[in-house]
Amino acid sequence: MQTTTTDLSLREQELVRIVSQKAIDMHKTHVQAQIDVIPKFKLRKEHVKGAELLVDRDELLERMPTGGKVAELGVDEGNFSARILEITNPATLHLVDVWGDARYHEGKALSVQSRFADEIENGQVDITRGLSLEAVDAFEDGYFDWIYIDTDHSYQTTIQELQQWAPKVKANGVIAGHDYTMGNFTSGYKYGVIEAVAEFCTQNNWTLSYLTADFAESNSFAIKRMAN
């Protein structure tokens, strides 16, 4: 039996279809496995009462205390650090990052040091090299007016950051953070920020104060302790 070019083309198309479907199924399984291991807590009305929807992170910064003591966990190249300095003019901005892998490398750490050399010199900026869950012990309880979390966005890390950094924030202080979204679907990476925030708020009597609608940049959140 003679095989025609059309037959081969149809077979190739079918093979591509089968392989593509297999890849889709594997992707779904991978994402679902990440979802299944994350605890689910539901925010109640009291946890969102008075919450405001803001345009973007700049507007969020406009709502943060000025002249305070601030920590940014996860700095990368320092672009948001520069916005914090410009908009809130903190007394001290503590930049916490490990800069320890291929994406967040030593070159970026050196670039940040150079970028904020003047602020480091005058004491407005302080750099702490290390993981957020290790660096937390360097600060006294009740030290910060507010902090901003932008690390690996996983549930496991974020819930620990909220639990361990909360005591470092003043009674009327704020914990804010980035990537309050479901995840990076291009890479198949499920974020856990939404779930971690819900768990932390419901278990520790914190309330959602602000959410941003900056979908291009990825949403941010801000929470504070409930009033007694």
What's the pTM?
0.83
Q: Catalogue all structural domains in the chain, each as residue range(s) with its CATH number.
A: 38-225 (3.40.50.150)
Phi, psi of 206 (to 5 degrees): -110, 160
Burial classification of residue 136, based on how many CB atoms lie within 10 Å of its CB (0-12 exposed, 13-18 middle, 19 or more buried): buried
Within the chain, how many helices (H) and strands (E) appear? 9, 10
pLDDT in tens, 17-42: 766 666 555 555 545 555 566 778 89
Q: Answer for the pair 70, 94: CB distance below 8 angstroms, yes or no.
A: yes
In Å, what is the CA distance from 37 to each residue of 31, 155, 190?
A: 11, 9, 11
**DSSP per residue, 35-72:** HHTS------HHHHTT-EEESSHHHHHHHSPSS-EEEE
Q: Residue 127: its pLDDT value, please? A: 98
The Cα–Cα gap between 191 and 173 comes to 25
Most confident of 162-171, 174-183, 188-197: 162-171
* Low-confidence winner among 2-16, 44-58, 106-120, 187-201 (lowest mean pLDDT): 2-16
The mean pLDDT of the chain is: 89
The Cα–Cα gap between 3 and 127 comes to 68
Return the DSSP state at 167: G
pLDDT in tens, 81-126: 999 999 999 999 999 999 977 677 889 999 999 999 999 999 999 9
The Cα–Cα gap between 56 and 212 comes to 5
In Å, what is the CA distance from 168 to each residue of 13, 141, 207?
A: 59, 4, 17
